[in-house]
């Protein structure tokens, strides 16, 4: 019997890797500003400083570029939740999670807006990822939080809505950054706004979850 061995994909050269990264960086800017529907290959090529045929050598379709960005985004976005440790102190773990999510809102605002745009369109291109990888991870961490609650280490609440609330309040500082800075004004709208937000959210969530003395 003859066994067919699938040929390995050819390794990319350094220049090919650099070109792909240049395209993805340009696409991130275009997609986060215009959404998937509003973005075009021509816009991405122009932002990358290359011709459209050259871009299409590396990515055949706009969908291919978007899919690559979304997969990278989810890998990065879910990392803080994966680090939630069931053997750690619950309040410390949740405080660290809030901090890491705010750091991501500060450091990756375009990625956050890219994800938000996709969700607002009904997640047509990432629903399998949401229903699969994302849901599995959230279910796992909900089980961790429920264990903390059963042990009396934090107050009882709905762990899914706890996670949703942390997402909403931290990602707000990326998705609505213009509004945040405008309302805070020049005195409070600088980079210090993230530390102010961290202290407030820690007080809001941590104190609300701290077990009450009997």
Q: What is the pLDDT of residue 10?
A: 61
Q: What is the pLDDT of residue 154?
A: 96
Q: Phi-psi bin for 49: left (phi > 0), alpha (psi -120 to 50), beta?
A: left
pLDDT in tens, 20-70: 999 999 999 999 888 888 999 999 999 999 999 999 999 999 999 998 998
Q: What is the pLDDT of residue 140?
A: 97
Closest of 156, 175, 165 to residue 98, by C-alpha: 165
C-alpha to C-alpha distances, 88 to 85, 91, 157, 165, nearest whole angstrom: 5, 9, 19, 21
pLDDT in tens, 125-166: 888 889 999 999 999 999 999 999 999 999 999 999 999 999
Average pLDDT, the chain: 90
Burial-class residue 142 by CB neighbours within 10 Å (0-12, 13-18, 19+). middle
Spatial CB neighbours of 167, under 8 Å, sequence gap ≥ 6: 101
């Amino acid at each position: 019997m003859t066994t067919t061995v699938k040929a390995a994909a050819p390794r990319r050269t350094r220049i090919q890797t650099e070109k792909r990264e240049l395209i993805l960086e340009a696409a991130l800017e275009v997609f986060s500003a215009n959404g998937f529907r509003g973005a075009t290959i021509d816009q991405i090529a122009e932002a990358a400083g290359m011709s459209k045929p050259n871009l299409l050598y590396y990515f055949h379709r706009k969908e291919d570029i978007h899919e690559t960005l979304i997969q990278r985004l989810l890998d990065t976005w879910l990392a803080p939740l994966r680090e939630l440790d069931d053997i750690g102190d619950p309040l410390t773990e949740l405080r660290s999670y809030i901090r890491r999510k705010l750091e991501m809102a500060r450091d990756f605002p375009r990625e956050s807006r890219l994800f938000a745009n996709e969700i607002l369109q009904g997640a047509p291109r990432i629903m399998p990822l949401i229903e699969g990888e994302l849901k599995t991870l959230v279910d796992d961490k909900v089980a961790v939080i429920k264990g903390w609650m059963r042990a009396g280490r934090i107050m009882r609440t709905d762990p899914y809505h706890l996670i949703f609330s942390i997402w909403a309040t931290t990602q707000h500082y990326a998705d609505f950054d213009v509004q945040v800075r405008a309302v805070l004004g020049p005195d409070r709208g600088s980079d210090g706004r993230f530390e102010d937000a961290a202290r407030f959210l820690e007080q809001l969530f941590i104190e609300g979850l701290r077990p009450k003395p009997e």
